Amino acid sequence: MMTQIRTPWFWLTVLSLALLGLFVLYPLANILTASVIGDGPNGWSRLMDNPKYLQAIWNTLILATAVTGIATLIGVPLAYVTARHSFPGKGLIALLPLITLVIPEVIAAQTWLMMLGNNGLITRALREIGLRLPSFYGWFGLITSMSFIYYTYVYIGVVSAIARFDVQLEEAAQSLGTAPGISRIKVMLPVIMPAVLASALLVFTMTVGNFAISMILSHRLPLLSVVTYQAAVAEGAADITMQSTLASVSVLIVMVVLFLNRWIVRRGKYEIVQGRGAKPQPLRGIKGAGVALLAGLVVLISLLPLISIILGAFTASRGPVMQWGNWTLANLERVFVTAPQPLINSLTYAGIATLISIGFSAVVSYLVVKKPNVLTPFVDYVSAIPLALSGTVLGVGLLASFHGGWLPLSGTAAIIVLAYVIRRMPFGMRNGQATLHNIPNSLEEASISLGVPPVASFFKAVLPVMLPAIISAGILTWTTTVAELSASILVYSGGRETLPIQVFRLIDSGLMAYASAYGLVLVAVILIPIIVAARVFRIDVFAVK
């Protein structure tokens, strides 16, 4: 203990914990305490008495499990073929899934309905040949649409882990007499497992917290996020018992899953000594075409919403009615000339938030993985809490905590940045930790033993090795931050609308043409850093080549 206190790492841990305490625990505590105190019977007994709430919790668990399973089954093989093989159209296939991250979920749900709803294109075509699909409202639609959006997180989380995987391990296994296929699974799987689990955890929590798609597609199927929202609307701010109780349930679910995830990662520790990545093997002929076709199909399905945004952005409209085939630039003119404020706001707030998130999560994941002390487990747990908070819960908590008082942030741009950082910092954290598990301790120990002080060693020896991972985490943070909606829509103030808020407003008003134009610009804003990283800085962030 005493030796720990003397290191600068210990004091950095204390500082991190203090910041997390103020901006994560304090707002959360404000909400959680309300589930047991307050007027009337406490929230937990009311929860137990109401079969609808119990049904909602059960449904949410089933949905999250199904979506996580399917998203992993799509994401991991796609990551594997892109990282280890080259095939026709690979460049596009490796890049395009990123776009699905940024398509507003409301637009995605709308597009799925255009295809598979009661009056959808595919539904009607199948009906004509005598096939009746189950209603898209409910399980079918929820599982399909969420799986085809969230597989992207698995893909991104796993692709860099597979690309960095040291092929020498695999070659060693083969030279020891194991068959190529089996050796690959036996040696690679344990090493990429932390990344797979981290991504799966992310998908699970995002499904539990998903609001936009659940709202549109669940209809009468009770889901936790929807009943929480309904309770919040019905209760108001005077009595927040039921909404806090339901929010606490989702927090508990995710904490349990996180605990399982850590337990599995702890059981096996794998470090890669040199990290010589594999050179992608070309796939030719039938096999190459088959892989390209399958991967292309997955990507195409998840890109349908993007296609509808592109067409919509250039389509003329009168009120909510689209005049398909009648092209115009008026919608984009609105984004850049008539009403550019949302674009400017998004760039400013998300830019600052990304810098803060990345700096903070790089330091904290380093502390947690490489410099554990008595406090780091707490830092780890607390920094993961925002994953378990839906945006709505976070927004309400921030407003309740930083309105007036000694830190009056509400009504300022700072609270939007704060909401962004709290919500998205765990993304970088999960990926940072997964990467650090693969960087050997010997590297830094060598630097220190050569006389370089610990903090300087971090900057000179560890940081450069982490850099590619930090940059790719930075881009992931940027993409998800720019697209953040559910927390910022609660804390923003007049004139501080961001692009997603504007898209949401316009969709809610039924103005798909304008919404598509803002949505298209949002997609561009997200893609530009990825392209710049790849082209200008030659950083192969997502193993595209």
Partner 1 sequence: MFLKSVPFAAALSLAMALPALADPVLYTSNPVPAYEAVQAAVKAQAGVNLGVITGGSGVLLRRIEAEAAAPQSDVFWSSSANTLGAYEQLFEPYASPALEAMMPELRYPGDLFLPGNLHVVTMLVNTDQLDGQEAPKTWADLADPAWNGRIIIADPANSSTGYTIVWGLSKLLDEATYKAVVANMVISGSSSNVPKGVAMGEYAVGLTYETNSYAYVDGGQEELTLVYPADGTFTSPEYAALVKNAPSGEVAKKTIDALLSKEAQIALLEVAFRRPSRTDIKVSDYVALPEIADIKLFALDEADAAKNREAFLAAWAALPKAGDVE
Q: Pseudo-torsion of CA 16, 19, 23, 28, nearest 10°?
A: 60
Q: How far is the CB of 299 from partner 1 (least distance, A)?
A: 26
Query: Taking the chain, what is the end-to-end CA distance rounded to the nearest angstrom?
Result: 47
Detail the DSSP E strand segments found in 268-386.
281-282, 315-318, 321-327
Q: Are strands 321-327 and 315-318 parallel, antiparallel or unpaired?
A: antiparallel
| Type of residue numbered 24 | V
Report the interface residues with partner 1, using CB under 8 A. 113-114, 117-119, 135, 137-138, 215-216, 218-222, 226, 230, 232-234, 236-238, 317-321, 323, 352, 355-356, 358-360, 362-363, 399-400, 403-404, 408-414, 417, 463, 470, 489-490, 492-496, 505-511, 514
Residue 368 in contact with residue 380, Cβ under 8 Å?
Answer: yes
Residue 130 or 495 having the CB closest to partner 1: 495
Residue 17 or 193 having the CB closest to partner 1: 17
Residue 442 or 493 having the CB closest to partner 1: 493
Residue 413 or 448 having the CB closest to partner 1: 413
Residue 191 or 522 having the CB closest to partner 1: 522
Residue 133 or 167 having the CB closest to partner 1: 133
Q: How far is the CB of 220 from partner 1 (least distance, A)?
A: 5
Q: Distance between CA 349 and CA 414 in Å, rounded?
A: 8
Q: How far is the CB of 258 from partner 1 (least distance, A)?
A: 24
- Own/partner pairs, 412-416, CB within 8 angstroms, 24+ separation: 412/493, 413/345, 413/348, 413/349, 413/496, 415/491, 416/349, 416/488, 416/491, 416/492, 416/496, 416/498
Burial class (CB in 10 A: 0-12, 13-18, 19+), 481: buried
247-265: burial string, b at 16+ Cβ within 10 Å, e else? bbbbbebbbebbeebbeeb
Q: How far is the CB of 442 from partner 1 (least distance, A)?
A: 24
Q: How far is the CB of 503 from partner 1 (least distance, A)?
A: 11
Contacts of residue 270, defined as CB under 8 A and 6 or more positions apart, other chains included, come to 190, 191, 437, 438
Residue 41 or 408 having the CB closest to partner 1: 408
Q: How far is the CB of 25 from partner 1 (least distance, A)?
A: 20
Q: How far is the CB of 402 from partner 1 (least distance, A)?
A: 11
Residue 201 or 212 having the CB closest to partner 1: 212
| Tokens coding 525 | 């804003």
| Tokens coding 99 | 């776009």
Q: How far is the CB of 78 from partner 1 (least distance, A)?
A: 31
Q: Distance between CA 354 and CA 480 in Å, rounded?
A: 10
